[in-house]
Amino acid sequence: MTWLWSNLDLVGELILVHLALSVPAIILSFVISVPIGWLAHRYAWSRGVLLSLCALLYAIPSLAMFVALPPITGLGLRSPVNLVIALTLYGIAVIVRTAADAFDSVASDVRQSATALGYSAAGRFWGVELPLAGPVLLSGLRVVVVSTVSLATVGAVIGVQSLGSLFTDGFQRGIEAEIITGIVATILLALLLDWLCVMAGRLLMPWSGPRRSRRPALSDVRSIEADPA
């Protein structure tokens, strides 16, 4: 504990740095995966190719990715941008299949009903399909949040600062408390972001989640009697 108290500033700074790496990667992988997932859902012939290609990204060893990216992007080996790109690619690999499933999960009669009401194709996407895909998209996003926060620590091995630096530094200098702090802080950060996602989901999708049970109002009694469903 003494190590933690005397290094609070360092831990606080690394938490912010860690957020600066993982949050953009999480947002980017989500924003990129949703249209890919929609394409895979909409055009059956593209599904196998798109989903397999994205899943393959995950097979690239992370160290190899970190080494391979700088020559491609033209940025220095230790540029955090490379790490954000790598994390984004892994994030896409994790979420894109869920994104396709999310659009599949929208009931076809709701889709047809929206068309019959006079939604344009774009209006239907934004007003009906995307919101109704929301609960499944959220479950995919939560996996990406946790995996990205965890994976961002690997950057420390190639010298990009993050909470992972506490592992590498603690390991080299033999400070056990520093390693444990790094692990606990990473886990807590992942849990915090996951909780924020759940809260945002409740706020944005009040219609999903556990069905509210409430006592029927007096005005309902007539129709309830007539309709036991």
Taking alpha carbons only, the member of 139, 147, 121 closest to residue 38 is 121
Smallest gap from Cβ 219 to another protein, in A, equals: 4
Tell me how far apart the terminal alpha carbons of the chain are, to the nearest angstrom: 59
Question: Nearer Cβ to another protein, position 43 or 207?
Answer: 207
DSSP 125: I
Q: Which two tokens stand for residue 173?
A: 């200098």
Question: Within positions 123 to 152, which residues make up the interface with another protein, using CB under 8 A?
Answer: 123, 128, 131-132, 134
Output DSSP code: residue 154.
G
CB 104 to another protein: min, Å: 16
**What x/- string results for residues 76 through 115 when contact with another protein is judged by CB under 8 A?**
-------------------------------x-xx-xxxx
Shortest approach of another protein to residue 7 CB, angstroms?
47
Task: Kindly report the length of the chain.
Answer: 229
**CB of residue 228 to another protein, shortest distance in Å:** 8
202: which residues sit within 8 A by CB, 6+ positions away?
Answer: 209
Return d(Cα 44, Cα 51) in angstroms, integer: 11
Which spans of this chain sit near another protein (rule: CB under 8 A)? Answer: 107, 109-110, 112-120, 123, 128, 131-132, 134, 205, 207-208, 211-212, 214, 217, 219-220, 223-224, 226-229
